[in-house]
Amino acid sequence: MIFTSTNPNAELVEIEYFIDKKLVRTNVTLEQWNKHFHDHKEEVASGRVQVLDVPPTKAKALAEAASKTDGILFHLWPLDAKIPNGEVMFPTAVSHKPVEKLEIPQ
């Protein structure tokens, strides 16, 4: 779940699925992956991932586990809307890099 901030009353604006890379990359086309998915290994390496409310060693382990997955975001609350209105967007991570071939982990 992705919120507008860490404030307890922050709006939930996105849902992100973390899916095993092998499962994603054997079930979507290259075009779908480049348009909607991103590699969590790249995102973790960018330093933008925050794991809150756990000790640092646990946060590091969670980030390492996440790096073995791909992500897809569903943005549910349009930026200028007072409430969700049924519009869904598919942003991707800032660190997303389109690829020419999907590497499937063994």
Q: What confidence tens digit (pLDDT) does each residue in 2-47 have? A: 898 889 999 999 999 999 999 999 999 999 999 999 999 998 988 8
Residue 104 lies in a domain: no
20: left (phi over 0), alpha (psi -120 to 50) or beta: beta
Q: Which domain holds residue 40?
A: 13-94
In-domain check, residue 37 = yes
Q: Is residue 103 part of a domain?
A: no
pLDDT band at 80 (very low <50, low <70, confident <90, very high): confident
- pTM, two decimals, is 0.85
Residue 76 in any domain: the answer is: yes
43 CB-contact burial (10 Å; exposed 0-12 / middle 13-18 / buried 19+): buried
- Answer whether residue 102 is part of any domain: no
